[in-house]
Amino acid sequence: MRAFVTSVFVLLFILLITGEVPAQEAVTFPAPDGYQLHADLYGKGDRAVVLAHGGRFTKDSWRKQAEAFADAGFRVLATDFRGYGQSVPGSRSEDWKHYPDVLAAVRYLHHAGAKSVSIVGASMGGDAAGDASAESNPGEIDRIVLLGSEGGDSPERMKGRKLFIVTRDDRSGDGPRLPGITEHYRKAPDPKKLVVLEGSAHAQFIFETDQGARLLEEMLRFLSEP
């Protein structure tokens, strides 16, 4: 009884401080090489979404978007790449091939009963999402959202429906990102869609701008279309 009261108190304290509901469930699952990955699971439903974070983020950065997707009826899995957040040990320099981790998340959701699985990948996570789509079996990945990302090395091999989203003035150290994303969009097979938002924010940072509401709306519309 005392443990139950303590748990309730902790939950209320979190709600008071953050104003947010904690993730429904913390889960772990193995990558193909046995590496244990950590993720937060939100919501329920037959349709599922993997959230793959950018290089300056962790799974916790997706909380607000994950809750919005869960409210829309999706089962949502926000993952930590190896070397990030809770998925340690590992290093960003040694573990750069992240697409197996994304595929492991997709297959975890299918094994858990999801009838369709999509991916939302931001920046580095978008590259991993695109490569995962290229390496996936037919039907494993329903659709992908590539946020500020070219979608990996093989856009012509990506499967399923594709939504590329980028801000018009997003720049990397090598220059504007829009030309490279547009070129990969051109190479990707149909069905596909490109949305260019105003501003210069990159990937998940767009949520912190006045384009954040539209970005979430575009994503939800794309993921919910029949």
6 found inside a domain: no
193 found inside a domain: yes
Q: Indicate which CATH number applies to the domain containing 192.
A: 3.40.50.1820
10 found inside a domain: no
CA angle 148, 154, 158 (to 5 degrees): 80
Q: Tell me the whole-structure pTM to 2 decimals.
A: 0.87
Count up the domains in the chain and report the number: 1
161 found inside a domain: yes
pLDDT at residue 87 in the model: 62
131 found inside a domain: yes
Closest among 127, 89, 99, 112 to 41, alpha carbons compared? 112
Specify the amino acid at residue 61.
S
8 found inside a domain: no
pLDDT at residue 35 in the model: 82
Q: What is the DSSP letter of 18?
A: H
pLDDT at residue 9 in the model: 39
Q: What is the pLDDT along the chain (226 residues), one digit of tens a residue?
A: 444 333 433 433 433 344 444 457 999 999 888 888 999 999 999 999 999 999 999 999 999 999 999 999 999 999 998 877 776 655 444 455 689 999 999 999 999 999 999 999 999 999 999 999 999 999 999 999 999 999 999 999 999 999 999 999 999 999 999 999 999 999 999 999 999 999 999 999 999 999 999 999 999 999 999 9
60 found inside a domain: yes
**Domain range enclosing 70:** 23-224
pLDDT at residue 150 in the model: 97
Cα-only R_g, the chain: 17
97 found inside a domain: yes
Closest among 155, 220, 217 to 192, alpha carbons compared? 155
Expressed in percent and rounded to 5, the helix, strand and coil fractions of the chain are 40, 25, 35
